[in-house]
Structure 1
Amino acid sequence: MYSAAFMFEPGTYDDRFHALDALIEEAARTTPGYLGSELWLSPDAVLRNATYFWETEESLRAFSAHPKHLEAKRQYTQWYKGFHIVISQVLRSYGDGKISHITPNQRAHA
């Protein structure tokens, strides 16, 4: 499993942003290997983190090459003050079983 964490500081969103954002979300959901996403805010609510989860690196790469995603990348300065992306391979995930998450819980519960 792989994750792509897209950390960004929002700027000003317009109608074109919202339309393109909806198309990108649809492209992610319909890309084979897409597992889900989650959104987090920094404690001061200035930065946001949208993390997407993928079965394989190939599925993540397929999404990153989608034409609408590439279009948004070319125009990001219109809508974001800055961004940083972290691509990670998920090696393991676990918890007490009381919180549902996209990643599998790999620890047995007593």
Structure 2
Amino acid sequence: MICCQFIFLPGTYDDDFYRLDAQIAEHAQNLPGFVRVEKWVAPEDGPLAGQVNAIYYFTDRQSVAQLARFPHHQVAKEQVARWYDGYRIVVSEVETTYGDGRIDP
């Protein structure tokens, strides 16, 4: 499984942001290798104050590449400084995941 983390500090969003964000999310969820997305927000009073981690899981790198090539994703990447006060991307390969079964794997 491939894990793509988009870690960012929110800035000011506008209508263009919301439109592109919805289009990208829909495209990602319709890719054959899409598994799920999780989103975590750091507490405002902690050391990471308000940072967001949107984590996309895919079964294969081909789906990740398809998302990267999606035209609306390309447009959003070109304008990222317009909406975020900083970001970083972490792409990793998940070797194992396990738990007690009470949370979706």
Q: Provide the TM-score with structure 1 as the length reference.
A: 0.87
Q: How far is 1:43 from its partner?
A: 2.9
The residue aligned with 2:4 is 4
1:71 maps to amino acid: V
1:84 is matched with which residue?
88
In the TM superposition, 1:6-45 aligns within 5 A as 6-44=6-44, 45=49
Task: Tell me by how many angstroms 1:47 deviates.
Answer: 0.2
Deviation at 1:39, TM superposition (A): 0.2
Deviation at 1:99, TM superposition (A): 1.7
Give, in whole Å, the separation in 2 of the partners of 1:94 and 1:26.
28
Deviations 1:58-110 (A, max 9, x none): 11111111111011000001100010110010100011112223xxxxxxxxx
CA RMSD of aligned residues (A): 1.0
| Residue matched to 2:51 | 47
Other-structure match for 1:107: none
Structure 2 unaligned regions, length at least 5:
none
Distance 1:62 1:2 in 2: 13
Structure 1, unaligned stretches of length 5 or more? 102-110
Count matched residues: 101
> Max radius of gyration: which structure?
1
Paired amino acid for 2:10 = P
Give the aligned residue type for 1:85.
Answer: I
Give the Cα separation in 2 of the matches to 1:84 and 1:32.
25
**Match of 2:89, as an amino acid?**
I
CA deviation vs aligned residue, 1:37-70 (integer Å, no higher than 9, x gap): 0000113351000000001011111111111101
Q: Which has the higher contact order (CA 8 A, sep 6+)?
A: 2
